Amino acid sequence: MNQPNAPLRLLDLAPAALREQVAAWGQPAYRADQLYQWLYQRLAVDPAEMSNLPASLRQRLAEEAQIELLTPAAESVSSDGHTTKTLFRLHDGQLIETVLMRYDRRNTLCISSQAGCAMGCTFCATAQMGLQRNLTPGEIVAQVLYFERWLRQQGDERTAARAGSGGKESPAAAHASHLTPHASRVSNIVVMGMGEPLANYANLWQALRTLVDPAGFGLGARKITVSTVGLVPGIDRFAEEELQINLAVSLHAPNDALRATLTPINRRYPIAELIAACRRYVARTHRRISFEYAMMAGINDTPALAEELAALLHGLLCHVNLIPLNPVVGSPFQPSRRADVDAFVAILEAHGIPTTLRLRRGIDINAGCGQLRARVAQSTRTPSAG
Ligand code: SAH
């Protein structure tokens, strides 16, 4: 949308552009550093908070700039309380999802990189909406800042509750700290929400650089994982990046005939080319690739396919992450039976391929990719429209 007086979206500006903007406002360079710190370390949403900036600059920011880019539109919390999924509305009405998972002393945030997705995976809820648009760098980072603010606030409330009870935790605070052992920071980020991150490469990398910049958000690169459907040129580009961000590849099948029915992009980048790119990535970076494999009953979960997968990945520095399929409304695919999953794991491990089974986190809140948006869109449709 091209509004005549569209606000300046600060989070979209790379550090150099932010410096230029601050200079254009007639301010010395160190003001840009201070502003950067307010945005990404102190997580300010209101220029009035920026107490070390001159009043004139704060006024300018209030008039011309915008910080928060996300409006929460719906939220659901899983029944065990460990997973929170938020649907955000963007300035042009697009909806995206972000999921916070609090397990194993970690706060892992699953963020979106596009509104919708063009890849068309047949088992994925996001695919059903098609690609709406790329997220801007600011919209990617804003998902992290939103949950970081929320976690810090929870941490502060716990500390206050402890202080208020004479050093002993109140039952509520003890409960909260049980759920969130060190709750006050986002500790890991996975780019596994809506969209294909490597199809929005430049914006994704601008966001990732801010997130790992010690002067910015300051998260360790190794705490971040980007998941791709298997865009070969993007994987080659990823291998050249200096930051040690992890790469995950959504494989889901060990041969072209099957994979093409699940991830249509396989027709463009068939498995031999994909695995060759993965081998180049490992040779270049010496980092382990993780392969995601959503287990679908009677589709990709047979012992023969496990053998084929083991042969395909032989000698590659990798690990396989089996994901129980999250059933999507209107889709024929169902999650594999536990016995079939166990047999699949056993075969991979017998071939020396490290394998993990991802827990079905947040399954009761439609935490699978694109599912909350689908539900909200459905419930706001008029009954006669279907
Ligand atoms: N486009 C990227 C990242 C987004 S999806 C990619 O394809 O990797 C993150 C992961 O969730 C991918 O492995 C994707 O295949 C998987 N996924 C999508 N829908 C799913 C579902 N209904 N159940 C289980 N996994 C699903």
Give me the average pLDDT of each 10-residue run along the chain (386 residues). Answer: 74 97 96 98 97 96 97 93 94 96 90 98 94 98 97 85 65 47 82 97 98 97 98 98 97 98 98 98 97 97 98 97 90 94 97 87 55 50 30
Q: CB atoms < 10 A from the CB of 111, how many?
A: 30
Tell me the torsion sign for CA atoms 295, 296, 297, 302. negative
The reply to whether 125 falls in a domain is no
- Residue 186 maps to a domain: no
Check if the beta carbon of residue 253 is closer than 8 Å to that of residue 264. no
- 30 occurs within a structural domain: yes
Question: In total, how many domains does the chain have?
Answer: 1
Q: Please give the residue range of the domain that contains residue 21.
A: 15-66
CB under 8 Å to 271, separation ≥6 — which residues? 254, 255, 256, 259, 312
Vertex 24 angle, CA 19 and 25, to 5°: 100
Residue 168 located in a structural domain: no
In a domain, 49, yes or no: yes
Strands 131-134 and 318-324: unpaired
Catalytic residue, from 110, 121, 278, 369: name it. Answer: 369
Lookup result for tokens 């997973």: 83
CA of residue 250 to ligand 1 center, whole Å: 7
Is 341 within the bounds of a domain? Answer: no
Q: Which pLDDT belongs to residue 184? A: 87
What is the DSSP-derived secondary structure letter of residue 12?
G
**Among the listed residues 200, 189, 96, 195, the one whose alpha carbon sits nearest the alpha carbon of residue 145:** 189
Task: Give the residue carrying structure tokens 């649907």.
Answer: 87
Helix (H, G, I), strand (E, B) or coil at 246: strand
Within the chain, strands assigned E span 8-9, 65-66, 71-77, 83-89, 95-103, 106-110, 114-116, 131-134, 188-191, 224-228, 246-250, 289-295, 318-324, 355-357
Q: Is residue 57 part of a domain?
A: yes
Query: Can 97 be counted among the known catalytic residues?
Result: yes
Nearest CA to ligand 1 atom 14: 250
> Residue 166: its pLDDT value, please?
61
Find the CATH number of the domain harbouring 37.
Answer: 1.10.150.530
- Residue having the nearest C-alpha atom to atom 10 of ligand 1: 192
Q: Rounded to 10 degrees, what is the CA torsion of 192, 98, 94, 131?
A: 10
Report if pTM > 0.75.
yes
Integer angstrom CA distances of residue 110 from 172, 184, 310: 27, 17, 28
Q: Does residue 131 lie in a domain region? A: no
Q: How far is the CA of 89 from the centre of ligand 1 (A)?
A: 22
Task: Name every protein residue with a CB atom under 6 angstroms from any ligand 1 atom.
Answer: 119, 121, 123-124, 192, 196, 227-229, 250, 292, 294, 323, 325-326, 328, 368-369
pLDDT confidence of residue 168: 54
Q: What are the angstrom distances between the C-alpha of 76 and each of 129, 176, 330, 368?
A: 21, 17, 21, 12
- Which residues pair with residue 319 across a beta bridge? 290
